[in-house]
Structure 1
């Protein structure tokens, strides 16, 4: 006999075991919605009152998803913290009813089991999951500026221990099946083909389960009030070190777990509900949720209206250097598309293969894949020093030196050697795509595809269309980038495109501040505290001082004198300082001495001789204004200019590009959301103050002044 609602169905088997199946109509994945609470409450009452039901299996009706979490959009309907807390309390009630069922309840998990989905599984008495790569378990609410709101902060620590639970909740990490089993989060891992059968066996074995074995240190820390205080104090210090106080959710997670551990589950749940409501209403959570919605929306777009991508069955990468090797690696490992790497030397090809092997081997070391799977992926990569085996390429990604003549040669070679439909995508970071396409007989196939280094880690790519790029080429390139696991934004052609253009003024202003007598550490510390992952001087060392020196003149020539880099920086190159790549930059890159380590001196130390090279005396600045503010307002102003000029098509794309491309603080939502929170009029006032003090490089963008006068925002 089967009882059904719109989303849930209850099927009774002859052996007394019932299946509670969740299948949200019209959706590819299950998500929890507020309107499901009455349906679940009604079904749970029916189960509780049916003496013929001896056990229950909770399972998904979706092919590759258990429950991917709660429907985040319902939070936007909450205009007070009390309303958001009520959503949390409703989840508490229904999951408590599930947990209190008198018969054994087992969650059968295949696919995404995240957020509210994992909280649902935690309310079951036992859990079994498939060994499929699509199965992942986690509580990622912190990434949305929230805490788990349906009992996760209380049930997870009880199941796997406080330290392990805090690690999961504070990072939002997602566990693979074997990791979940080792941690005690699930009771068994089986092939998906026998998942239901295994869940039924777990039901038949009863409610009781063996708790995860704790080592002596865990027991000492977690079973006494004093030990727990030490554990929570350590967690607080780590959070402060990582977040610089910019994210409230981690602190609330720690406090909620602490109250539950010290005062019991009822107090913990009450705290969880209250804090959940408060966090929903914070600007940080609103900004982080906006990023989630933006990236979700972008996944549905082709990048060009009414254009469909061509099939992608084979790729070619020109150049076996770090960028080429990285691009080839993500093509085989993420996109699972065969790639042929072409270089002028066997050494370059060897480097590309070695790079890919090392990256894939990290997956083996972390047990994310087997050696056989690594070798199968690596077999998708082939190499050549001639244009052999490239005729059938659907897309060619060029990753050679930033030399226009060389790139012209690459375009002509590919048009000669490949088909008339082959897309030629240049990974240039500064050269206009229109200039690269100027020698092409098929310019409609030429496009920019700007990756950020290191390719395997950086999530963003800029897809750069010049005036003659066809919509189909744009759509195909966007599809290719998505297959590689990237978030692409489509930008129009122009020097520096979008990301490097807004970054350049930010970096230039940091350089100006340095030359005014500010210390390297003070500059980096100021911007890290503001919310950037690294400071601007550290970033310059990482990118390469020589790379910055090449890009600056191009930007100045195309965009005007506000992009002029400080002339004093030429002295760095004269002193052979390129940054981390040659061990000579602003910081020292030799291994710290044993005595320094014993004395706990900072591992990253400034090479103080750099001040003499630049002819400055550190600590002598009498700067006007705030260090971080001077750098950031330059970036904000230039972002508005890019929107004004049509380099980016929307504020949304500009926000995603800045966050994913250069680490603009996510809790601020991106440059445009941050301008909205500051107020355009306030930003104009700040810029004009600096303009009077430092000159025209701070002149507000015309669009910004117009928005200030009309009191408009980029987002309504």
Structure 2
């Protein structure tokens, strides 16, 4: 047995070589330069010692098989270095091609997850054996980072599954499949129950198949479903619908990866294998050197890694875990929080003013479980066990001994104070006390409990079972231990946390308010409602802005506005009104249209509150004939309103770290993912910070001073650096 820093080589008595990938410098194996060098050396040795090699098993010395490309390398790829990067991509692709044509059977023994480059490596083997397990995934998720597979993933998956299935079931959505699901799809060939079987089964296959060849290397091989241009195959009639489907899914937003994936799949299916790889590489390089991929890699990998990390806490600390939670308020938010806690194995007391109301709240979990059982995602036994952990009640003493309370009642400080005072005597000593408020300052709410140091804001997003974000708000007296426990809770209930400091509206509610206000201001200026909706869709927001406003409810928005105005005036500040207020007040007071719950808002609704069309009275109410504004200006007014407000949050100390802003904006308030988040949008803007500042000044001069860039950005533009480099990347944690 000989050693290599990255790939260990071991040959048995049958001549089968096991190549174990185990990069000593990384937690997971990645397709970096060191791996490529090691793979080339291993292939050289196989060819040199061909007469003594009966076959090859490729496996991993880590819990994960292979994690894919090194995202640090991909983030640094630029168009002015494209030749250098292309050389690396071509070399990597050529090595995998060499592996599958080396003249000996090759088996991928997939001992954990194989995502991205990991699956590409496995697809280059002649046979794939995977360790079964619900947490072992395979897939090609590159599209979620603004990329496409660049080491043969498109070419091989198309030849295995056909153009249509490869696109829909693997490439365009970037699905992560369990290995069992991958077996059904056909990209995994065998499953084993234990690691000890993995190599044994792999070697057995090699001995039974001494001279394998990839199907696509057999003369006359036809791609399943046919190649583009073959009128006799089913693909011919389906192919024209694919671009239309892409346009429908993207709504015109700036996501180039799906287009490149379709182009690579269709074009590569019409040529020989080696030219197919060249086509794939060309489309990959176009994305990898573009700004969108850099934005998405920053947000969805590096920033996500940061917010989910230790955040300044000791890595060897024992995480705190809640065992019994009390959720105060069984409305939609409280019911969703109760479900999430119960799903995490926490016993939950769901309290409301009456048992009937609490039972209705538990009914929300019943409905979710019933849907999961019907879809085959859970069993009746598991569903019953989850429901058994939720106890609906109207009795505060049912909270006896709880180590966690989450208040989720009406946004009224007096109501919140009442329910917390009622429950606090029954809590365990030092229990974590959280308030699910979206706007009310946490420091003020903390005055209503006897232990303000244990009090913290826990802002969930609706619907709680589907929204992944948890905004944690530190009050002035929240202790470091309380923050640490809140972060532990987020992990326990599988939420992505961001941490912000206290202020009215915190970060997410404050910033999304500027988005809605800008849309209402545009409407008040006579811009057609349909144009505003189309602009927000093409910007990349998940829901058109007026539709979102109806869902949030105009009455709630007015209450939040009025509360903010009172607080400002009581604090001796002059309230500066926004043009949106006129539209909001007229919609409610003059037209009685409060949104979807009221059955009438910016949209019309049928008897079941199903949205039908934009309210036909909007042109009479607000004009709708102002078509002079350039469409790009409408789009950027929506985006810039949120970005500039976020910079103010950063300047004021509401935000302490850029990753919190980027992740929170995408996961919590739907800021377009292609931008990389509200602050990455500035660094990724054409011309960088200086380009953003110039555009903001144009918007301020043309439309409103609210687009005036903050002084901090003006200084940054002069310095020539990026926002990310100018601020510490260390996240809020505990001292």
TM-score when normalising by structure 1:
0.90
Q: Does residue 662 in structure 1 map to residue 669 in structure 2?
A: yes
* 1:577 aligned partner: 593
Q: Deviations over 1:638-685 (max 9, x none)?
A: 111111110001233222221221121222222222223255555555
Q: 1:107 to 1:351 in 2, by over 3 A?
A: farther
User: Looking at both structures, which has the greater relative contact order when contacts are Cα pairs under 8 Å and sequence separation is at least 6?
Assistant: 2
Rounded to whole Å, the distance in 1 between the matches of 2:558 and 2:323 is 38
* 1:203 aligned partner: 206
Matches within 5 A, 1:514-533: 514-533=523-542
> How much has 1:308 moved relative to structure 2?
7.6
* 1:266 aligned partner: 274
Matches within 5 A, 1:7-22: 7-22=6-21
Q: Does residue 324 in structure 1 map to residue 334 in structure 2?
A: yes
Question: Are the equivalent residues in 1 in contact too, given 2:307–2:659 (CA < 8 A)?
Answer: no
Rounded to whole Å, the distance in 1 between the matches of 2:121 and 2:585 is 60
* 1:293 aligned partner: 302
Q: 1:314 to 1:7 in 2, by over 3 A?
A: farther
Q: 1:33 to 1:358 in 2, by over 3 A?
A: farther
Matches within 5 A, 1:236-385: 236-243=243-250, 244=252, 246-291=254-299, 292-302=301-311, 310-333=320-343, 335-385=344-394
Question: Are the equivalent residues in 2 in contact too, given 1:504–1:552 (CA < 8 A)?
Answer: no
Q: 1:45 to 1:332 in 2, by over 3 A?
A: farther
Matches within 5 A, 1:529-678: 529-558=538-567, 560-562=575-577, 565-574=580-589, 575-590=591-606, 604-612=612-620, 615-620=621-626, 623=629, 626-676=633-683, 677=685
TM-score when normalising by structure 2:
0.88
Rounded to whole Å, the distance in 2 between the matches of 1:77 and 1:690 is 32
Q: 1:339 to 1:303 in 2, by over 3 A?
A: farther
Question: Are the equivalent residues in 2 in contact too, given 1:562–1:696 (CA < 8 A)?
Answer: no
* 1:31 aligned partner: 30
Q: 1:157 to 1:683 in 2, by over 3 A?
A: closer
Larger mean CA deviation between 141-150 and 230-239 belongs to 230-239
Rounded to whole Å, the distance in 1 between the matches of 2:118 and 2:111 is 11
> How much has 1:332 moved relative to structure 2?
3.0
> How much has 1:289 moved relative to structure 2?
1.2
* 1:115 aligned partner: 116
Larger mean CA deviation between 674-683 and 103-112 belongs to 674-683
* 1:143 aligned partner: 144
Question: Are the equivalent residues in 1 in contact too, given 2:402–2:426 (CA < 8 A)?
Answer: no
* 1:87 aligned partner: 88
* 2:55 aligned partner: 55
Q: 1:314 to 1:32 in 2, by over 3 A?
A: farther
Q: Does residue 66 in structure 1 map to residue 71 in structure 2?
A: no
Rounded to whole Å, the distance in 1 between the matches of 2:700 and 2:229 is 60
Rounded to whole Å, the distance in 2 between the matches of 1:240 and 1:667 is 15
Matches within 5 A, 1:381-420: 381-420=390-429
Question: Are the equivalent residues in 2 in contact too, given 1:427–1:451 (CA < 8 A)?
Answer: yes
Q: How many corresponding residue pairs? A: 698
Q: Deviations over 1:289-343 (max 9, x none)?
A: 111111112222337799985343333222222111211222233x333333222
SS in 1 for 2:92: helix
SS in 2 for 1:189: strand
Rounded to whole Å, the distance in 1 between the matches of 2:630 and 2:228 is 50
Rounded to whole Å, the distance in 1 between the matches of 2:97 and 2:690 is 50
> How much has 1:155 moved relative to structure 2?
0.6
> How much has 1:20 moved relative to structure 2?
2.3
> How much has 1:512 moved relative to structure 2?
1.6
Rounded to whole Å, the distance in 1 between the matches of 2:467 and 2:134 is 22
Q: 1:714 to 1:616 in 2, by over 3 A?
A: same
* 2:40 aligned partner: 41
Question: Are the equivalent residues in 2 in contact too, given 1:497–1:647 (CA < 8 A)?
Answer: yes
Question: Are the equivalent residues in 2 in contact too, given 1:505–1:563 (CA < 8 A)?
Answer: no
Q: Deviations over 1:485-517 (max 9, x none)?
A: 222111111111111111112211211211222
> How much has 1:252 moved relative to structure 2?
1.6
Show structure 2 runs of 5+ residues with no match.
217-221, 569-574, 726-735
Rounded to whole Å, the distance in 2 between the matches of 1:691 and 1:43 is 60
Larger mean CA deviation between 698-707 and 234-243 belongs to 698-707
* 2:728 aligned partner: none
Matches within 5 A, 1:211-222: 219=225
